[in-house]
């Protein structure tokens, strides 16, 4: 686990003025995926939210975060601010039960978020800049030797959440495929959706359900929790359609986000 305070001004000045610590992107600039023969779909999906965490670690870090918030709030009343974690990064190793505090680098003048020439100024900008850095979209372009094997990627289609909302409001018939795990689907889901977990689609299971529902006429829209599994599901079904194995599936779209 890690703990620090981003974008903090110890002089009480607004961001961009006075003495200010760097933002998240100063410390972790967005890196574009590099082509690699060893890169796989799993390499692009490793994150705490996808693979899980040891439950006690977020609890420990959460308590430290709450304490840091109290320190920041009391600092606004004139209390000494030297102990606030704005220029240090605390790292916790649960396996060795050890803490390590390291000094953070200064504000990055080339930062895409808080630098003078910032390019990320909204949540939409942030989404677009990071959409190709993790998950299935982070995979490098296919090599020349594998272009023939990847021809089905040309048929990949996606729509935004707003576009899908208009489709639902219009009453147009379609198939909404939710590829989350059953536990997440049971917690909340959109009316009329079909739940088939991604792992079952990758194995080719339950495609009869989709084919029968689509009947060669209705488009299929894929939905998941964070927009990663739905990309994989869309591409997998595109492969199946391109191979001519499921002619009853009309077309497949990924719902971005």
Give the active site residue among 45, 48, 114, 222.
48
Is 224 considered catalytic here?
yes
Total residue count of the chain as it appears in this document? 257
Q: Rounded CA gap, 48 and 216, in Å?
A: 39
Handedness of CA 74, 76, 81, 87 (dihedral sign): positive
Give the active site residue among 111, 114, 222, 224.
224
Q: Are 60 and 1 in contact (CB under 8 A)?
A: yes
Q: Rounded CA gap, 227 and 62, in Å?
A: 26
Task: Label residue 160 exposed, middle or buried (CB < 10 Å: 0-12, 13-18, 19+).
Answer: exposed
Choose among 39, 62, 45, 55: nearest CA to 225: 45
Is 188 considered catalytic here?
no
Q: Rounded CA gap, 253 and 257, in Å?
A: 13
Name the residues annotated as catalytic: 48, 224
């Amino acid at each position: 686990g890690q703990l620090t305070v981003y974008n903090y001004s110890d002089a009480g000045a607004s961001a961009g003025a006075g003495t200010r610590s760097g933002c998240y992107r100063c410390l972790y600039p967005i890196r574009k995926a590099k082509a690699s023969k060893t890169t796989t779909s799993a390499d692009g999906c490793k994150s705490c939210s996808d693979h899980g965490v040891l439950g006690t670690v977020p609890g420990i870090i959460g308590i430290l975060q709450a304490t840091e918030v109290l320190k920041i709030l009391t600092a606004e009343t004139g209390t000494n601010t030297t102990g606030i974690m704005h220029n240090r990064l605390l790292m916790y190793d649960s396996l060795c039960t050890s803490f390590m505090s390291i000094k953070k680098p200064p504000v990055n003048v080339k930062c895409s978020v808080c630098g003078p020439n910032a390019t990320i100024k909204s949540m939409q900008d942030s989404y677009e800049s990071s959409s190709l850095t993790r998950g299935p979209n982070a995979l490098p372009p296919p090599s020349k030797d594998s272009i023939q094997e990847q021809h089905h990627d040309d048929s990949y289609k996606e729509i935004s959440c707003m576009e899908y909302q208009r489709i639902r409001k219009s009453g147009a018939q379609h198939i909404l495929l939710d590829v989350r795990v059953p536990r997440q689907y049971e917690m909340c889901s959109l009316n009329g959706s079909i739940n088939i977990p991604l792992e079952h689609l990758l194995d080719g299971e339950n495609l009869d359900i989709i084919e029968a529902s689509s009947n060669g006429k209705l488009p299929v829209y894929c939905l998941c929790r964070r927009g990663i599994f739905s990309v994989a599901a869309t591409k997998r079904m595109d492969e199946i359609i391109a191979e001519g194995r499921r002619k009853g599936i009309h077309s497949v779209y990924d719902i971005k986000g």
